[in-house]
Amino acid sequence: MNTFRLQLRFLVPLVLTLVAAAYLALPLMDRLTLRWFSRDLDLRGSLLANALSDSIAEALRARGMARLQTIFDHAVQDERLVAIGLCSVDGQLLRSTDDYPDKLTCANALATAARADHLLRIAGGPVHVGAYPVNDESGRVADLVLLHDMSFIERRSQDTRQYLIILIAALGATIAMITVVVAQLSWRGWVSGARALLRGEGLLRPLLPPTPELAPLAADLRTRLRDLDDEYRRIHGLQAEWGPDRLRSLLRTQLRGDEIIVVSNREPYIHEHAPAGMIVKRPASGLVTAIEPVLRACSGTWIAHGSGSADRQVVDPRDHMLAPPGRAEYTLRRIWLTEREELGYYYGFANEGLWPLCHVAHVRPVFREPDWQAYREINQRFADAVVDEARSEDPVVMVQDYHFALLPAMIRERLPRATILTFWHIPWPNPESFGICPWRREILQGMLGSTIVGFQTRFHCKNFIETIDRTLEARIEHEHSTISYQDEDTFVESYPISIEWPSAASMAAWPSIEQCRRNVTQRLGLAADQKIAVGIDRLDYTKGVIERMQAVERLLEQRPEWVGRLVLVQAAAPSRSVLEEYSLFQQRIGLLAEHINQRFGTAEYRPIRLLMEHHERDAVNELYRAADVCLVTSLHDGMNLVCKEFVAARDDERGVLILSRFAGAAREMTEALVVNPYHVEDCAAQIQRALTMPEPEQRERMASLRMTVREFNVYRWAGRMLADAGRLRLRGRIEARVQRHHDA
C-alpha cells in the first residue's frame, strides 16, 4: 500500500508534467511547421515567378492580354497553385485567374506577402500569398501575385500533432514503468523492493512465474533481511517525537490499517452505582494510563473484564460501549465473570500466584489447582472474545499482562495468522524463582503463541529467555532475540512503557503551582511553610510504602528540625482488598502511620497523612504539583508510571524525584535520586538531600527528566512494538511466498 502510494505520488506529477509539456509543445509545433511550409512555398513561388517573368514582361510590352491569360491559365494547372494575379507598379490589378479573390487588392496582397507567415484565409481555405517582381531591361514592370493552397499544411500539422501525442504517451508510459520499478526497489528501500519482487507484487507480478531457481537465493536473502531488520530496529529506536499522529500513520503504512484489539483484565472505565446515581471511575492502574491514549489514537477494540456494579447497564446487546464515555474514540467490549471465577482467576492465580512469583517481594506465592482451572477457563473466554471481535483473519492483538499468559497460544490456535503482541507489565524473575510455579511449562507455552513478547527492561527479557531455555525444548537465537518453539518464532524485546505527554492545551488548563499548593495545604490543614513529600500508589506490598514511612520516621528521628516542617502525603488507592495479604498490608500501613504520628505529631501536626481512597486524575495531578518531593520506593516494579506522571506534572521544573533502583523506570530516569528502599537510612538521607536541594539543581535534574519522559512517551512504546509487528508480518508474508516457491 505504501509503495503504491509512493508510486502514485511520483506518477501523478509525472503525468501532469507530460500533459503540460504536450500543451506547450503543440502550438509551438504548429508554428514551426507553418513556417517551414511557408518558406517552402515561397521558394516554389519564386522559382515559378522567375520562369514566367520573361514571358509576362514580353506580353506586357506587346499589350498581349490574351497571351497573359494563356500563360496564367497554363500555370494555374499546378494543383497547389490556387490563383495568379498581376499588379501594376502603381498597385492596379492588371490581370488575374478566375479563382483570384475579388476582394484581394494589390496593396493587401503585397502586404500579406511581406509578412512572415504569408497566410491569408479565403473562402476556399488558407492560402499562401507570395509577391514577386516582374522585370524587363528597364526594371520592375509589375508584381506577380501567386496564391498557393495551404490546407494541406493543416492536414500535415494534424498528423504531426497525432505523432507527437503518441510519442509523449509512449515516453510517459516508459518513464512510468521505470518509475514503478525504481519505486519498488528504492523508495521502499531495496529490502522492501526485493520483498515485493519475491512476492511478485506490483507491476512485476504477471511477469514473475514461480521461480524454483530463486530457492538457493532465498536463504541468503532471509538472513540478510534479518540483519537489516536488526539494523533498522537499532536506528528506529533513536527517532524522537512520537505522538498520536505518528502512531496512526505507522498503523496505516506498516500495518496497512489492520485492526487493533487490546486485551487486558482491567477496564479503562468502571461504572458504579453510588448513592447519588451512577458514577464512572478511572482505575488506579499504570496499564490503563498507558494503553488508553494508544487505543484512542488507533480506535480499535479493547476487551476487558467488566468489573463495575453498573457496567452491564451501559453496554449494548454485544456487551459493547463506546469509550471514553461521551467521546466515542474506540470500542470497549466487556467480559463478565462470576464472583467465583474472579476469585480463582484474578485474585487467586494471577494475584496470589503470579504477582508475588514475579515481584519477588518476599511474599510467598500461592498456587492452587482450582485457581489454575479458573485461570485457564477465563483465558479461553477472552480468547473466544478476541476471535469474536476480529474482523479479519490476521488482526493485531495486544495482550496485556500476567492475567493472560495462556491467551496467546489460545488465540493462535483459532487465528493462526494473527499478530499477537504480549506485553508483560510486571518483572520477570530469574529461572530459579519462576521454577516454583507448578504450571510453568503451560505458561511459557501459552506465551510462546505470541509473535512478540515484550518486557519493560532487557534484564526481564534475559530472565525470560533463560527461563525458556531451562524449561522447554526451544531453540534460542540470542543474536536476534528470537525463540523458535514448535515451528513458531517469538521475538523477545524490551519496550519500556510510559505515559502520554500532556498536550499544551491540557497544561494550560492546569491550576498554577501556587494554587495547587494552596488547595492541598488548605484541604489537609497544613501550614504554608511545611515541606510536602507525596507518595501515590495502589495499596500493594510491592510499592515500598512501609519502607518509605520508615524512612520519614528515621529522618524525623535524626533531624528533629524537620518535625513540624515535613509532611508525607500518602495517597493509597485500596486494591485487591479481598486478599488477606492486601488487607493485612492495609492495616499495617494504618498502624505504622498512627505510630509515627503519635511519636512526632501534635494536635495540629501529623507527619504522615494517609489518604486511603481512590483519587481521580486531577486530584493526583494537584498533589504532584503541590509537592516538594515525590517518593517512589517500590521494592520491585516492572516500570512504575507514577514517577513519570510526577515529572510530566512539573512544568515549573521544580520538585525532586526519589526513585527506587528496583523500579524499571530507574534505568531511564537517572537524574532522580536513586535509592535502595530496603536501606532505610539511605532513604532518609536522600529525603534530606531532596528537601535541601538548591533550586538550580532541582531545575537541572527536572528539565532533563522531562526531556526523557517527553521523548520516551507511550506512543513511542506502542509505536516500536507495532513497527516490529509490521516488519514481522511482512517477513511472514515473504517467507510464505518463498516457501511456495520451494514447494512449486
Which residues ranging from 638 to 677 are in contact with ligand F6P (CB under 6 A)?
638
Helix (H, G, I), strand (E, B), or coil: what is residue 120? Answer: strand
- Closest CB to ligand F6P among residues 640, 698: 640
Query: Is 266 an interacting residue with respect to ligand F6P (CB under 6 A)?
Result: yes
Look at residues 681, 644, 641, 637 and name the one whose alpha carbon lies nearest to residue 660.
Answer: 637
Min. distance of Cβ 399 from ligand F6P in angstroms?
Answer: 12
What is the smallest separation between the CB atom of 407 and ligand F6P, expressed in angstroms? Answer: 14
Residues 589-648 interacting with ligand F6P (rule: CB under 6 A): 638
Options 72-80, 130-138, 170-178, 284-292: segment touching ligand F6P (CB under 6 A): 284-292
Q: Which of 704, 683, 693 is nearest to 548 (CA)?
A: 683
Name the region of 706 (left: φ>0; alpha: ψ -120 to 50; beta: rest). Answer: alpha
The answer to whether the beta carbons of residues 629 and 691 sit under 8 Å apart is yes
In the three-class reduction of DSSP (H, G, I as helix; E, B as strand; rest coil), residue 307 is classed as: coil
CB atoms within 10 A of CB 399: 31
Stretch that binds ligand F6P, among 282-290, 312-320, 389-397, 680-688 (CB under 6 A): 282-290
Alpha helices in 183-282 (DSSP H): 189-199, 215-236, 244-254
DSSP-H helix ranges across 77-199: 106-114, 151-182, 189-199
Nearest to 634 by CA among 426, 346, 454, 487: 426
Q: How many CA atoms lie within 13 A of 455 on its CB side?
A: 23
Q: Which stretch binds ligand F6P (CB under 6 A): 13-21, 193-201, 281-289, 313-321?
A: 281-289
Taking contact as CB under 6 A, which single stretch among the options 91-99, 149-157, 191-199, 280-288 is the one that binds ligand F6P?
Answer: 280-288
Residue with smaller CB distance to ligand F6P, 197 or 291 = 291
* Residues 360-399, mask of contacts with ligand F6P (x by CB under 6 A): ----------------------------------------
For the CB of residue 346, give the shortest distance to ligand F6P in the complex, in Å.
7
Q: Which three cell numbers stand for residue 566?
A: 515535613
Residue 342 to residue 654: CA distance in whole angstroms: 43
**Residue 457 bridge partners (DSSP):** none
Smallest gap, in angstroms, from Cβ of residue 282 to ligand F6P?
12
CB of 525 to ligand F6P, least distance (A): 30
Single residue of 197, 426, 556, 656 touching ligand F6P by CB under 6 A:
426
Measured from the CB of residue 283, what is the shortest distance to ligand F6P in angstroms? 6
575 binds ligand F6P (CB under 6 A): yes
Largest CA distance in the chain: 149
Among 191, 287, 335, 589, binds ligand F6P (CB under 6 A): 287
Stretch that binds ligand F6P, among 61-69, 99-107, 279-287, 695-703 (CB under 6 A): 279-287
Q: Which of residues 306-325 bind ligand F6P (CB under 6 A)?
A: none
Is the CB of residue 118 less than 8 Å from the CB of residue 128? Answer: yes
How many residues touch ligand F6P under the rule CB under 6 A: the total is 11
Which residues is 631 bridged to in the sheet? 658
Tell me the CA distances in angstroms from 578 to 366, 402, 487, 575, 584, one per residue in order. Answer: 15, 19, 42, 8, 10
CA atoms within a 13 Å half-sphere pointing along the CA-CB vector of 335: 26
Taking CB under 6 A as the criterion, the residue among 292, 311, 352, 401 binding ligand F6P is 401
Q: How many CA atoms within 13 Å lie on the side-chain side of 643?
A: 33
Q: Which is nearer to ligand F6P, 266 or 716 (CB)?
A: 266
Contact status: 685 vs ligand F6P (CB under 6 A): no
CB of 383 to ligand F6P, least distance (A): 19
In the complex, the residues that contact ligand F6P under the rule CB under 6 A are: 265-266, 285-287, 401, 425-426, 575-576, 638
